């Protein structure tokens, strides 16, 4: 699994870093840090769990839902931690 991951992960990260390093500085000068307008936001929560996912703690819908035994409309939970 580790080798398969490395075959695509390293080139992708290298391309991202190369692209970020060659981006014109003029584009970055117009960024408004007070808004999300024109920005791409992505994240990953490694501690989210769900029933049957093999988590050692068997915590149910941990972080996904306000209820650990059910998920659905009115129960979704979203954690936002801005930098």
Give the domain ranges of the chain. Answer: 45-83
* Number of H-type helices and E-type strands within the chain: 2, 0
- Measured torsion, CA atoms of residues 7, 13, 14, 20, in degrees rounded to the nearest 10: 160
Q: Rounded mean pLDDT of 5-26?
A: 63
43-75 pLDDT, tens per residue?
666 566 777 777 766 677 766 777 878 888 888
The pLDDT score that the predictor gives to residue 53 is 75
- Per 3-state DSSP, what percentage of the chain is helix, strand, and coil (rounded to 5)? 30, 0, 65
Q: How many angstroms separate the CA atoms of 58 and 45, rounded?
A: 17
Q: How many angstroms separate the CA atoms of 1 and 6, rounded?
A: 9
pTM > 0.75: yes or no:
no
Helix (H/G/I), strand (E/B), else coil: 65: strand
């Amino acid at each position: 699994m580790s080798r398969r991951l490395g075959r695509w992960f390293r080139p992708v990260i290298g391309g991202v870093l190369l692209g970020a390093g060659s981006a014109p500085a003029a584009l970055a000068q117009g960024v408004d840090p007070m808004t999300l307008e024109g920005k791409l936001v992505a994240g990953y929560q490694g501690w989210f769990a769900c029933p049957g996912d093999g988590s050692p703690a068997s915590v149910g819908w941990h972080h996904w839902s306000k209820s650990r035994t059910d998920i659905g409309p009115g129960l979704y939970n979203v954690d936002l931690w801005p930098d």
